[in-house]
Amino acid sequence: MFDFDTWKSRKVPVLKGFGQVIEDLEDTQLALQTMLSMRHVTPFKEEVTFKLAQLSDTADTLERWVKVQMLWMSLESVFTGGDIAKQMPLEAKKFAKIDKDFVKIMEKAAETAGVVNSCANELLRNTLPILYNELEKCQKSLEGYLEQKRNKFPRFYFVSNPVLLQILSQGSDPQAIQVYYEKIFDSVNRAVHDKKDMSNIVRIKTMKGADEEVIDLTEVQYADDTFAVVIFASVLELCLPLRLWREV
């Protein structure tokens, strides 16, 4: 039997603990292959051969299923809301259709629960290859989008794709990206915003142990809602030269 968990707040059933299922399928197939090599298997050979082929198909389907689920889980939060979905409307629309089909097969699988019966479902077997191809296209589009952001602001090469996605998906909320400054810069831990207008950056803070240094900006920087790259670029271009000058 498959075990299912729910995906975040959407309550979409997703496979969990499938590693043990894959291992059990491999062990059972090995046992059946061993049986076929025995001379006393003749009365049961047809049945054993059928069961071996069935489990082989099940393993292949499950492998494809896991790949689809992993891709879907990595892209779901990106394309179902937030700043990136707004910046990539075509891909978000494509993902919405993929999401609908994926949820449909997962709900059906949760009702069936049995490993062999679930993997033998024709809708599942026919849909998985299509979903995988479409999800790969979405992923490639997303990678191209991230590369554009890195070309615009090379310091984004210092962080992994998951971290960069977190930064860009919250770019319209300046406070939400505070924790990422130190991942991008050696000498910036926090940007201080104007209390009256949180979109304005008035100073930056650098902390090392118990020591803290605050650098006031000679010109207030406006962090608009066109992504965090604007904020990072502002800090880099206007604040770091001052920091370096003080250390000389």
| pLDDT tens digits for range 35-47 | 999 988 889 899 9
Please tell me the least confidently modeled range out of 64-68, 87-91, 163-167: 163-167
- For the CA atoms of 155, 160, 166, 170, the dihedral, rounded to the nearest 10 degrees, stands at 10
User: Please, what is the average pLDDT of the chain?
Assistant: 83
- For the CA atoms of 7, 166, 206, 247, the dihedral, rounded to the nearest 10 degrees, stands at 150
Pick one of 3.30.590.10, 3.40.50.2300, 3.40.50.300, 3.20.180.20 as the CATH number of 173-247: 3.20.180.20
From CA 177, how far away is CA 193, in angstroms rounded? 12
Instruction: Return the closest-CA partner of residue 13 out of 81, 97, 112, 95.
Output: 112
Q: How confident is the model at residue 195 (pLDDT cuts 50, 70, 90)?
A: confident
Name which CATH class applies to 3-151: mainly alpha
Q: What are the extents of the domains in the chain?
A: 3-151, 173-247
